[in-house]
Amino acid sequence: MSNKANYTTEVAILGAGPVGLTIANYLSKQGIQVTVVEQLDSLIDYPRAIGIDDESLRTIQSLGLVDQVLPHTTPNHAMRFLTPKGRCFADIQPLTREFGFSRRNAFIQPQVDNVLLQGLKQYSKTEVLFARHLTHFTQNADGVTLNVKTKDDAEEVIQAQYLIACDGGNSYVRRTLGVPFEGETAPNQWIVIDIENDPLATPHIYLCCDPVRPYVSAALPHGIRRFEFMVMPGETQEELSKPKNIAKLLSKVLPNTDGIDVIRQRVYTHNARIADKFRVERILLAGDAAHIMPVWQGQGYNSGMRDAFNLGWKVALVVQGKAGAELLDSYQIERKDHAKAMIDLSVMAGHVLAPPKKWQGFVRDGIAYALNYIKPIKQYLLEMRFKPMPKYNDGALLANGSKDSPIGKMFIQPTVQLEDGKTILLDEVIGNDFAIIAWGVDPKWGLSEANIKQWQKLGVKFIQVIPAVQFGNANRKPFDGVITIGDIGTEIRTWFGKTSDSIVILRPDRFTAALAIPQSMNQVSEKLFAKLYTK
């Protein structure tokens, strides 16, 4: 008789970083049995990422945890590129809130990770196993088997239907599967120094393009300041980490280094790599295991969170038996190209901060100085329009081939009014379901009974949008099984006004899956069911 401990679960998640914890929360909220396996004894307690965007906050909103996360953020966090003389040549501070939250936010990652971990405690079927080292795994047509060891070398076996590997850039799972991880490692390293009781206390983040030693100065929530300095050739982590050398680095940016409270320092290498495949049968790669990128646009963390939102609802439908496993192929189809675009943007931003050649820095400063006076370009920078937003041209949606189509893009999240006069963000109405949103009419009237039932089986909210002032119409009749919301301003009406359609079908990750008018809803639904591999 074996003395091994055995766990049986529906989904195993390797890695209790933000991506693994987010997917675990999402699946748990959908009623899926989840087991999280983490090699460390506890969560990492030092800050890594310092920027969280509106898409990531919307993802955390879907977990029901955003109110606990927001107190650990600084909204509307500007990013300012400085010349060696301290002149700002690019001031990036987008102030729009298309998705319900500030587009750029500073945050303290360990505190947010802890919110995600604590969130799992409400789910009785979910287990988090710390201090477990994965020694071996296999998969077959029925599931995945993980062999792990505890700190005292006790062996455990975990049986799961699917494994989601969120085990970092050096992913054991990816390497064992033989999935190529193509890209490059930056030739230079950077040392990160976090300080308590911020000695500068100026807001925002500053990237100084100093040709001698480029550096970053970032204000974080709760009075923490982060400095990042390029490591010069011949310098080692051991040498740089000595108090006298830390003080020497800080004297470059502080008038006085006496009494500075250094929390920690670490040396980082910036990599730009992407996995050849995100799925190998019943094993899926997410976060840094699938792609890693330099930190300069703060998109490593946020790209991983996009993976989590994209993958979570698909795995849930497959495990629940509502969709075929073929749906999981759409994860790579949709996410890989955008992850590559974010890697390219991050590499480019790194070259702006620290050009590979000195003459490129002079060219950059001259061009930047001129462009700052051209209003459209200044606006382009200010509103962060250069950041490629995810647009999926294939996958679990009905793309129509139009470059300007909203299909494949994330839907807006305005504040809307309910029948009782209460105002809330749109996603609070939808929950973690599909949504069929119609402007002004019953979203069901063009659907057959069979298709209504298929939508209900998948989990759907039927939503009618009207101008909020129309709630005052005493003759207005509600539709059975339909939630009516009021467009307070004109945001939803403006969105529909840019299309020739009046009904939008949203996926659980808030991406537009299809557009229709009432008369085309049956045909559109059936085509979409085929793309979702519904059962």
Question: pTM here?
Answer: 0.91
Is residue 323 located within the same domain as residue 174? yes
Is residue 152 located within the same domain as residue 47? yes
DSSP three-state, residue 120 = helix
- How far apart are the C-alpha atoms of 383 and 330, rounded to whole Å? 30
Residue 349 has a pLDDT of 62
CATH (domain of 425): 3.40.30.10
Is residue 337 located within the same domain as residue 460? no
Q: Is residue 399 part of a domain?
A: no
CATH (domain of 125): 3.50.50.60
- How far apart are the C-alpha atoms of 52 and 355, rounded to whole Å? 26
384 or 210, greater pLDDT: 210
- Total Cβ atoms within 10 A of residue 470: 12
Residue 386 has a pLDDT of 46
Query: Of the candidates 321, 344, 367, which is a domain's last residue?
Result: 344
Is residue 425 located within the same domain as residue 333? no
The neighbouring-strand residues paired with 271 are: 185
Is residue 293 located within the same domain as residue 159? yes
The fraction of the chain above a pLDDT of 90, given in percent, is 69
Q: Is residue 503 part of a domain?
A: yes
Is residue 435 located within the same domain as residue 514? yes
CA nearest neighbour of 407 among 524, 269, 270, 259: 524
The set of residues, in sequence order, having a beta carbon less than 8 Å from that of 445 and lying 6+ positions away, is 518
Q: Is residue 97 part of a domain?
A: no
From 203-212, 497-506, 507-516, the region with the lowest mean pLDDT: 203-212
Is residue 330 located within the same domain as residue 439? no
Q: Is residue 228 part of a domain?
A: no
The neighbouring-strand residues paired with 157 are: 6, 147
CA nearest neighbour of 193 among 261, 98, 127, 270: 261
Element (H, E) at 491: helix 491-497
Confidence of residue 378 (pLDDT cuts 50, 70, 90): very low
The neighbouring-strand residues paired with 136 are: 147
Is residue 429 located within the same domain as residue 333? no
Residue 380 has a pLDDT of 44
Element (H, E) at 376: helix 375-382
What are the strands, taking DSSP E only, across 316-456?
A: 415-417, 423-425, 434-439
Is residue 44 located within the same domain as residue 168? yes
- How far apart are the C-alpha atoms of 489 and 423, rounded to whole Å? 12
Q: Could you read off the pLDDT of 305-344 as tens digits, one per residue?
A: 999 999 999 999 999 999 999 999 999 999 998 888 777 7
Is residue 310 located within the same domain as residue 419? no
Q: Could you read off the pLDDT of 8-61 as tens digits, one per residue?
A: 999 999 999 999 999 999 999 999 999 999 999 999 887 688 999 999 999 999
Residue 338 has a pLDDT of 81
Mean pLDDT of 266-280: 90
Phi-psi region of 277 (alpha: psi -120 to 50; beta: other; left: phi over 0): beta
Residue 364 has a pLDDT of 45
- How far apart are the C-alpha atoms of 412 and 434, rounded to whole Å? 15
Is residue 340 located within the same domain as residue 419? no
Q: Is residue 369 part of a domain?
A: no
The radius of gyration of the chain's CA atoms, rounded to the nearest angstrom, is 25
Q: Is residue 31 part of a domain?
A: yes
Residue 400 has a pLDDT of 84
Residue 382 has a pLDDT of 45
From 144-148, 290-294, 510-514, the region with the lowest mean pLDDT: 290-294
The answer to whether residues 460 and 438 touch, using CB atoms and an 8 Å cutoff, is no
**Structural domain total, the chain:** 2
Domain that holds residue 458: 415-532
Element (H, E) at 216: strand 215-220
Query: Of the candidates 288, 309, 344, which is a domain's last residue?
Result: 344
Q: Is residue 286 part of a domain?
A: yes
The answer to whether residues 329 and 163 touch, using CB atoms and an 8 Å cutoff, is no
Q: Could you read off the pLDDT of 444-495 as tens digits, one per residue?
A: 999 999 999 999 999 999 999 999 999 989 888 889 999 999 999 899 999 9
Helix runs in 45-177, H state only: 54-62, 66-69, 109-119, 172-177
From 68-72, 399-403, 468-472, 479-483, the region with the lowest mean pLDDT: 399-403
Residue 384 has a pLDDT of 44
The set of residues, in sequence order, having a beta carbon less than 8 Å from that of 180 and lying 6+ positions away, is 275, 276
Residue 308 has a pLDDT of 98
Q: Is residue 419 part of a domain?
A: yes
Q: Could you read off the pLDDT of 142-158 as tens digits, one per residue?
A: 999 999 999 999 999 99
- How far apart are the C-alpha atoms of 530 and 227, rounded to whole Å? 51
Query: Of the candidates 296, 314, 344, which is a domain's last residue?
Result: 344
- How far apart are the C-alpha atoms of 421 and 80, rounded to whole Å? 41
The answer to whether residues 85 and 208 touch, using CB atoms and an 8 Å cutoff, is no
What are the strands, taking DSSP E only, across 345-411?
A: none
Is residue 327 located within the same domain as residue 435? no
